[in-house]
Amino acid sequence: MMNQFDLENRLIDFAVLIVDFTDKIPKTRTGNHFAGQLIRSGTSPALNYGEVRGAESRKDFIHKNQIVLKELRETYNALRILDRTGRYQKLPILERVLKEANELVSIFVKTIQTTKKKSIDSACYQIAHRKSHINHSSSHRSTG
């Protein structure tokens, strides 16, 4: 299982990969547009992940991970658009960056799902515990 430090390094490596890829995109109108978009959305996850690590609550943790996920999905879709044009197939780095973007999206989807499930499980436990405590207290009152 990947820890937070490993994931942060992986996001930084992904940002570097995005920078390397965008430097190879031809300086055309389309290339410039997507290069700028990829620089913004593709480096953002590494920058925002520090906020995830500093989350103040489980709800905050989920929210900040959702922001990282949003940026990763945006990056992945921009890469898919470039891939489908067929103009960037000669850039071998494209396949690698697409694969990594997809894997990172999967990691963050799973992280968010798992955290939400833990939140629900925790809330259910607390409700059950309160009901048990209330039932226990009322049975003592009725017998006393």
| Res 117: pLDDT | 84
Which ranges of the chain have pLDDT less than 50? 125
Tokens found for residue 83: 């891939």
Exposed e or buried b per residue across 60-70, where buried means at least 16 C-beta atoms within 10 angstroms of its C-beta: ebbebbebbbe
| Res 78: pLDDT | 97
Q: How many CB atoms are closer than 10 A to CB 95? A: 12
- Ramachandran class of 79: left when φ > 0, alpha when ψ lies in -120 to 50, beta otherwise: alpha
| Res 3: pLDDT | 74
Domain that holds residue 74: 4-143
Are residues 73 and 108 in contact, defined by beta-carbon separation less than 8 angstroms?
A: no
Overall number of domains in the chain: 1
| Res 1: pLDDT | 56
